[in-house]
Amino acid sequence: MLSYSFLLDRLPDAGELGRAAAEIFKVNPAGVHVGRLYEDAGGPPATVSVTYLDLDGGDFGWRVDMGGDDTVTDPGEAATAGALARRFGVRVLLPTNDSDEWWRLITADEDRLVAVDLDELDEDRYVLTGA
């Protein structure tokens, strides 16, 4: 079962996000559910579920979670983030296992490590330091 969590600098239209998920995971669009995290009843069982939550400020104001049932195995998290970045022109931030400070930034044109402001991170805001 696949489960990914991304931070985005802006949220694409929910309908477009659902269509993108169907294409990325190669599933029938009718099997994709998109809704706001914690406020959405979830609807009928979905092959792919996409939930989103607005965050309190920072450079990355949205969290998007994507999950799939046991039939969904590809693509991986970074490839999915790259597909979203290219399709919507968004910046996607992924955690690394190395430290709280260094994160993986994926855009339509690049994939690199960036530092986030640890003081802002303590307040649950994701702000790049420029380092």
Domain ranges of the chain: 2-90
Which residues are CB-neighbours of 4 under 8 A, at least 6 positions away?
Answer: 65, 66, 67, 77, 80, 81
pLDDT of residue 99: 84
CA angle at 78 for the pair 76 and 83, rounded to the nearest 5°? 95
pTM value is 0.90
Indicate the length of the chain as a whole number: 131
Band of the pLDDT at 43, cuts 50, 70, 90? low
What are the tens digits of pLDDT across the range 78-110?
999 999 999 999 999 999 887 889 999 999 999
